[in-house]
Amino acid sequence: MAELNKLTDFKRRLIDELDKNCRQSNAQIAKRLKVGKNVVNYRLNSLIKEQIITGFYSVVDIAKLGYFGIRLYLKLRFATKKKEQEILNSLVKSNVTWWVGSIDGDYDIGIVVRVKEINDFYNFWDHFSKLYHRYMGKSTIHVHKATHEYSSSFFSVEGRKISYAGFVEHAQLSKKEKLVLSTLAEQSRMPIVEIAQKTGISTIAVKNIISRLVKRGIIKAFKLKLNYDKLGLTLYKINFSLNDFSKKAEMLSYTNNHSNVLFVDESIGFADFEVSFLVENYARFKEILNNYKSKFSDSIADVNYFVYSKIHKIKYFED
């Protein structure tokens, strides 16, 4: 296992650069890191071969396209490991889920479904329930309003925050734009020439489409997928219930400057303040949690947490 503290300084900086913008060319990264392009090529291939980097994806502001998220936490019952994997595979293959994760805690699975109206979610939930109702224990369903995502930086907290999925708009995309966006959603580092070959769109048109999608704020970032287990890291999700809503802005400001934060979620019908931290061990997590309890002791009414043991899918857009 290539744990975080065993990674070379250069590999850490390479991961940082890729997570800030993985569409940078190797030559651009080499220039920023002051090394030769061949060094970047070799180290990047090494990180992929070691399965520390498992993929690349685009952060898409689905609200600009008229979508909003419905999040579901599900506890399974009577499900063997084989059946649980079947259920996860079904959720990953769905063209309406954009997040699927396994949970250790009060629930077993967490998903977010991308919909334009509540009936879209009903159709998804009805179909899923007919297939797997026998294995479904308790569940919670709530509206996912917005997310603040942060780069998994190992060196600096500056410029890490990406906010998206806020107010619903209705930006129109052409067929070609949808093809390019769907491709970038799960393969954000794919070269323009390969995107052109896959979609049947000219290289010049692909380049212009990507520029437009970024300029319009539809694509918010190009990021990488990390294997947290390989790095000896664990993703904890903390859910705070508050008795003083006026402190939410202060809590967000405090969180923005935290080196371990990865996500802050805003939802309706669940916790009042939801934050996810990527940490090296349980002791570090408890230290973070206790710091929140101490700093916001008058505002926190209740708190619970769980672990995302594995993220199976991150794909914000699918045509």
* CA separation, residue 2 to residues 7, 12, 301 (Å): 7, 12, 39
Is residue 255 within 8 A of residue 261, CB to CB? The reply is yes
> What tokens appear for 53 in the block?
């980097």
**Measured between alpha carbons, how far is 184 from 190 in angstroms, rounded to an integer?**
7
Note the pLDDT tens digit of each residue in 281-309: 999 999 999 999 999 999 999 999 999 99
pTM score, whole prediction: 0.90
**Measured between alpha carbons, how far is 187 from 172 in angstroms, rounded to an integer?**
22
* Phi then psi dihedrals of residue 298, to 5 deg: -80, -15
**Measured between alpha carbons, how far is 8 from 26 in angstroms, rounded to an integer?**
18
Chain centroid, CA 97 distance in Å: 12
Owner of token pair 């599900």: 74
Note the pLDDT tens digit of each residue in 210-231: 999 999 999 999 999 999 999 9
- pLDDT value at residue 127: 97
Measured from the Cβ of residue 282, the count of other Cβ atoms closer than 10 Å reads 11
Is residue 29 within 8 A of residue 13, CB to CB? The reply is no
* CA separation, residue 128 to residues 42, 133, 135, 138 (Å): 44, 8, 11, 15
Domains, the chain, with CATH or none: 1-171+216-319 (3.30.70.3460)
Is residue 179 within 8 A of residue 201, CB to CB? The reply is yes
Half-sphere exposure of residue 107, counting CA atoms within 13 Å on the CB side? 21
- pLDDT value at residue 152: 72
- pLDDT value at residue 1: 43
Is residue 20 within 8 A of residue 159, CB to CB? The reply is yes
Strands, E assignment, 48-135:
53-60, 68-76, 97-104, 109-115
Show pLDDT as tens, one digit a residue, over the chain (319 residues): 456 667 888 998 999 899 989 999 999 999 999 999 999 999 999 999 999 999 999 999 999 999 999 999 999 999 999 999 999 999 999 999 999 999 999 999 999 999 999 999 999 999 999 999 999 999 999 998 888 888 876 655 555 667 665 556 778 999 999 999 999 999 999 999 999 999 999 999 999 999 999 999 999 999 999 999 999 999 999 999 999 888 899 999 999 888 899 999 888 888 999 999 999 999 999 999 999 999 999 999 999 999 999 999 999 999 8
- pLDDT value at residue 282: 96
Residue 62 is given by DSSP the state G
- pLDDT value at residue 84: 98
Chain centroid, CA 100 distance in Å: 10
- pLDDT value at residue 160: 63
N- to C-terminal Cα distance for the chain? 37
